[in-house]
């Protein structure tokens, strides 16, 4: 499956910082833009996998 998301990348001194508005909590950082994008992609992947597991397990028992 292929997904495409927006990456907002900003430079902060020697670091690049990124976040994805479509996936709350997904942030990345790196010394280069490529490192930053890879870090953000990994964060997005982890968050989406966690959400898939939550969907499969269903709602919590009251």
What average pLDDT score do residues 19-40 get? 97
Supply the pTM of this predicted model.
0.84
Range of the domain at 27: 8-55
The string of pLDDT tens digits covering residues 22-31 is 999 999 999 9
Q: Is residue 29 part of a domain?
A: yes
Mean pLDDT value across the chain: 92
Residue 61 belongs to a domain: no
Residue 17 lies in a domain: yes
CB half-sphere exposure, 50, CA atoms < 13 A: 10
Count the domains in the chain. 1
Q: Is 13 left (phi over 0), alpha (psi -120 to 50) or beta?
A: left
Q: Is residue 42 part of a domain?
A: yes
| 18 belongs to a structural domain | yes
């Amino acid at each position: 499956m292929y997904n495409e998301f927006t990456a907002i990348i900003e430079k902060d001194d020697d670091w690049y910082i990124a976040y994805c508005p479509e996936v709350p909590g997904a942030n990345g950082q790196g010394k280069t833009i490529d490192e930053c994008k890879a870090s953000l992609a990994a964060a997005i992947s982890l968050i989406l996998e966690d959400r898939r597991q939550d969907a499969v397990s269903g709602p919590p028992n009251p």
